[in-house]
Chains A and B, each alone.
Chain A
Amino acid sequence: METAQQLDKPSLGNNDAAKDKAIKEQDTMTQDTPYPDQTVGSPYVDDPKMRLRDVEVFYGDNQAIHGVSLDIGKNEVVSLIGPSGCGKSTFLRCLNRMNDTIDICRVRGDLRLEDQDLYDPKLDVVELRARVGMVFQKPNPFPKSIYDNVAYGPRIHGLANKKYDLDEIVENSLQKAGLWNEVKDRLHSPGTGLSGGQQQRLCIARTIAVSPEVVLMDEPCSALDPIATAKIEELISELSESYTIAIVTHSMQQAARVSHRTAYFHLGRLIEMNDTDTVFTKPEHDLTEAYITGRFG
């Protein structure tokens, strides 16, 4: 424990050597722990829903993601964790081509949803986003009624011809999102009038109204209170029965609670992907250990 004690109280006196040493020691965490040549753990599964290989993302000259390969299994909840700026949100946004909206962003690699190449130029992106839905950090309901918020997707995708069908889709989606009982009497009041947690569940209802196969969630609970968070987490485990879910979260406890497998990103690389239990009790890689025990990040 000697070195640890030194680290705890670095002697920052007049001595330059001691200063340098203290700074160097603070840096040792990342210096002494090289990136693995390939991802540690088990990033691949049999019969994946999404198969992602050698994904590289550039913002202009800046490479944000370095050769990430992983699978997302059917009806699986995968969580992506890592310190700020490690590329987890960037990676998530590749999965339904959300990055297309950023001009300087380029994506390379083989990304597939079942057999469909996601970056096939002939692919209809709107249709892709119906198959791979997304829920964002801040609830962003349309400035329309609760009903119209949910009905918007099915209408533009032509999923319902009659009013009766549309009613049914709206009710089902709100039921699945656990919001029906709270809003059934005021379906035509504005969605923006709901509380933050309800708004987020409304956004989830809106996402699942078009029957997506995969739901991507980018820190869906970071703007919510603990009770609303608990409801969303409950919802995630219920939704995983019918959908495949990938979730980016800053709360490690949340990743531990909701996901089956956890992927740890560090400076644009996928360091480790393993069963969530393994990651949180006995991670294989030192960087994962250092991050989840709060030694940096």
Chain B
Amino acid sequence: MDRMHFCEHSSYQFNQPLESNRNNLMEMGGLVEKQVVDALQSLLQADSDLAQKVLDTEDKVDKLEMLIDEECTRVLALRQPAASDLRLIIAVTKAVSDLERIGDESAKIARMGQQLAEEGESPRGYVEVRHIGNHVRNMLRDTLDAFARFDAKKALEVAAEDNEVDLEYRSAMRSLVTFMMEDPRAISRVLNIIWSLRALERIGDHARNIGEQVIYLVEGKDVRHISVDEMQEKLKK
């Protein structure tokens, strides 16, 4: 028997909400992933319309978050889930709030895209945005994949990748700050890029958080607030 089959309960009324919950989460994940991709695109290509599309999606994401939370609350109240069912519900409620925050961060990037489209391009930083953006996008995709397949190993890889993103973010920051000191006229435009990088870095953190929830769901171990090495160590036990 596979422990992670959530629609094998004797009660059909229990299978259904668990299954629909997971589907809603995946739908929300898909939406947010699209938001991140579009936001990056709008920033890199100074595309205001695309940026507006990202901002318009926010409402839908927020509604899904509330829908999923309501569904989880109902399952907790009516079914008193235990073991893997309980962990699924807990992991889903936590993952949706991270997804919603990722949506917020991509909206920030989209707004920066709109401003840069109006004020003119930043003289620096696009290479870094593209690079870190791609990285973060992959992380988000992987972490959602890991959730869909209950793959703790992949979730751990996402956590490891987040460390690289943090490093890249710090080095990009240093070079942009140096550039601003050399050319103070570009400060306002470069700052927009810096805020976007900051948002990307935060998206990476949220993707990692979701990965940690996947590990909790699959392995039943709480791996928050520890280093990747410690995570590996804990999972071996």
Q: B237 at interface (Cβ–Cβ under 8 A)?
A: no
Chain B contacts of A8 at CB under 8 A? 7-8, 15
The answer to whether A293 and B7 have CB atoms under 8 Å apart is no
Q: Chain B 75-107, CB within 8 Å of chain A: the 1/0 string? A: 000001111111100000000000000000000
The answer to whether B1 and A294 have CB atoms under 8 Å apart is no
The answer to whether A4 and B220 have CB atoms under 8 Å apart is no
The answer to whether A293 and B220 have CB atoms under 8 Å apart is no
Chain A contacts of B6 at CB under 8 A? 4
Q: B10 at interface (Cβ–Cβ under 8 A)?
A: yes
The answer to whether A294 and B84 have CB atoms under 8 Å apart is no
Q: Whose C-beta in chain B lies nearest to the C-beta of A33?
A: B1
Chain B contacts of A29 at CB under 8 A? 1, 8
Q: Whose C-beta in chain B lies nearest to the C-beta of A7?
A: B8
Once the chains are docked, how many angstroms separate the CA of A67 from the CA of B226?
Answer: 42
Question: Helix, strand, loop or mixed for chain A's interface?
Answer: helix
The answer to whether B7 and A282 have CB atoms under 8 Å apart is no
A55-63, A165-173, A283-291: which lies at the interface: A283-291
Contact flag A280-B82 (CB < 8 Å), given A8-B15, A32-B1: yes
Q: B3 at interface (Cβ–Cβ under 8 A)?
A: yes
Once the chains are docked, how many angstroms separate the CA of A162 from the CA of B7?
Answer: 64
Once the chains are docked, how many angstroms separate the CA of A252 from the CA of B79?
Answer: 12
The answer to whether B1 and A293 have CB atoms under 8 Å apart is no
Once the chains are docked, how many angstroms separate the CA of A175 from the CA of B69?
Answer: 45
Q: B185 at interface (Cβ–Cβ under 8 A)?
A: no
Once the chains are docked, how many angstroms separate the CA of A29 from the CA of B2?
Answer: 9
CB proximity to B under 8 Å, residues A253-297? 253, 256, 280-283, 286, 288-290, 292-297
Residue from A28, A281, A294 whose CB has the most chain B CB atoms within 10 Å: A294
Question: Helix, strand, loop or mixed for chain B's interface?
Answer: loop
Chain B contacts of A289 at CB under 8 A? 3, 83-84
The answer to whether A293 and B84 have CB atoms under 8 Å apart is yes
Q: Chain B 212-234, CB within 8 Å of chain A: the 1/0 string? A: 00000000110000000000000
Tally of A interface residues using CB under 8 Å: 27
Contact flag A294-B10 (CB < 8 Å), given A252-B82, A289-B84: yes
Residue from A7, A8, A29, A293 whose CB has the most chain B CB atoms within 10 Å: A293
Chain B contacts of A32 at CB under 8 A? 1
The answer to whether A293 and B80 have CB atoms under 8 Å apart is no
The answer to whether B82 and A293 have CB atoms under 8 Å apart is yes
The answer to whether B7 and A290 have CB atoms under 8 Å apart is no
User: Contact check: which of A1, A7, A28, A292 meets B82 at CB < 8 Å?
Assistant: A292
Q: B178 at interface (Cβ–Cβ under 8 A)?
A: no
CB proximity to B under 8 Å, residues A146-179? none
Chain B contacts of A292 at CB under 8 A? 82-83
The answer to whether B7 and A1 have CB atoms under 8 Å apart is yes
Known contacts A8-B15, A280-B86, A288-B83; 12 further A-B pairs (Cβ under 8 A): A1-B7, A7-B7, A8-B8, A29-B1, A253-B80, A281-B86, A281-B220, A282-B83, A289-B83, A293-B82, A293-B83, A295-B10
Show 8 A/B contacts (Cβ-Cβ < 8 Å), sorted by A. A1-B5, A4-B7, A7-B5, A8-B15, A29-B8, A282-B83, A295-B8, A297-B10
Q: Which residues of B are in contact with A by a Cβ distance under 8 Å?
A: 1-3, 5-11, 14-15, 80-87, 220-221
